[in-house]
Amino acid sequence: MPELVFFSGTMDCGKSTLALQIEHNRSARGLAGMIFTRDDRAGEGKLSSRLGLVTDAVEVEDEQDLYAYVVDHLSQGGRADYVIADEAQFLAPVQIDQLARMVDDLGLDVYAFGITTDFRSKLFPGSQRLVELADRVEVLQVEALCWCGARATHNARTIGGEMVVEGAQVVVGDVNQAEAVGYEVLCRRHHRRRMTAATARAAALSPDVLPMTSA
């Protein structure tokens, strides 16, 4: 039976890599897929992994009807045996409903990949709708690690290395960046304390710490 499967996890846990692997495995068996994405780090109309892999994709626009897009593709003689939707947290809830309709009405397997919560630990609307509708929710087992070595469970937005908890829900950036806006994965303890790798290093170098001197 066709399914809507939601693969979720923090940033840097291999979601896009798995999406590309699913695409490779199915295309190698002669199946044809349709790939949707939004705000990928590689630019418009791309699905990319931090490992350097990249493929073309359909860039989803605001208010776009994804179900109608696939139906139009099929009606013009195109083929689609499955659908991949990367960065699914950025999709509107109504677009998630359209993915579910592809499964129910068109008999397509749909694989959605995304982050569940934002930098404030609040659910993305698209991810919330996926949790509500998906036949299966798979938490990826490749664990991203906090700077302290513990399992990372939260996504943090940083400005100049310092964690921020206010601002627009969607600001495109990448992990471990020292530029104005970046992202970092943290364990819950350090997310609560707003302690990033940069602020932890700064604290370790604080003048309050007695310097070590050689004998």
What is residue 173's three-state secondary structure?
Answer: coil
As given in the structure block, the two tokens for residue 169 are 């829900």
Q: Is 87 a catalytic residue?
A: yes
12 φ, ψ to 5°?
A: 70, 25
Choose the catalytic residue: 87, 138, 143, 179. 87
Antiparallel, parallel or unpaired: β 4-8 and 136-139: parallel
Task: Return all residues near 14 (Cβ < 8 A) that are at least 6 apart.
Answer: 49, 140, 142
Strand 82-85 vs strand 109-114: parallel, antiparallel, or unpaired?
Answer: parallel
CA-based end-to-end distance of the chain: 72
Catalytic positions, please?
Answer: 87
